Structure 1
Amino acid sequence: MTATERAVELARAAAEAADDRKATQIVAFDVSEQLYITDIFVLCTGANPPQMSAIRDAVEEKLLSLGAKPVRREGEREGRWVLLDYADIVVHIQHSEEREFYGLERLWSDCPTVDLGLG
């Protein structure tokens, strides 16, 4: 099983919105064969809490324009790791230190990456 077309559409839109706010290290993994709760994890890095908030707002705005609303948000107050769960996709916006420490890329390295269509 692979990620649905809707999940790929949302992942690309989230990545584009994050890229517009200068997020770095944007990558997506098709986790549909490993998890039943979501199809794609989108990971990106923000340099500081204000940038991470701007990335979060841009992702939410872009996905809302596509009819998607988050079913869960976590980590907004700390500003070091924000998780936006859209059921089809989960967007992780992490500060560089958290990204390195938790190493989600290593954890999901068995999964195929999703072409996000970014330059």
Structure 2
Amino acid sequence: MTATDHAVELVHTAARAASDKLAKQIIAFDVSDQLAITDAFLLASGGNERQVKAIVDEVEDKLREIGAKPIRREGLRDGRWVLIDYGDVVVHVQHEEERSFYALERLWRDCPAIDLPADVASHER
């Protein structure tokens, strides 16, 4: 099984939104073979709590524009690791320190990556 076209559309929209707010290390995984509850994960990082919140706001705004509403959101108050669950896609926006510590890429490395659009830039230092 692979991620649905709808899930990939959500990933692409969320990745563009994160890129617009200068997110770092933007990557997406097709987790549909590993998890029954979602098709894809999108990971993005911010350098501080304010940037994490700005990325989250932009992702939510852009996904709302295409009719997607989050089922739940966790972690926004702290701004260190925000999880936004859209059913088909779960977006993780992490502070760089949390990203390094929890290393979700390592956990999901056996899952295929989802190619992101060419206009998505990971804004590395």
1:64 is matched with which residue?
64
1:116 to partner: Cα distance: 1.0
Cα deviation code 1:30-69 (max 9, x no counterpart): 0000000000000000011111111011000000011000
Distance 1:90 1:59 in 2: 11
2:4 is matched with which residue?
4
Q: Write the mapping of 1:1-119 to structure 2, written as runs, cut at 5 A.
A: 1-117=1-117, 118-119=120-121
**Which runs of 5 or more residues in structure 2 are unaligned?**
none
**Which runs of 5 or more residues in structure 1 are unaligned?**
none
Identity rate, percent: 63
Q: Which runs of 4+ in 1 moved over 4 A?
A: none
Distance 1:16 1:90 in 2: 15
The RMSD of aligned alpha carbons is 0.7
Distance 2:6 2:62 in 1: 14
* 2:64 aligned counterpart, secondary structure: helix
**Aligned amino acid, residue 116 of structure 1:** L
1:12 to partner: Cα distance: 0.4
Q: TM-score, normalised by structure 1?
A: 0.98
* 1:12 aligned counterpart, secondary structure: helix
Distance 2:105 2:57 in 1: 24
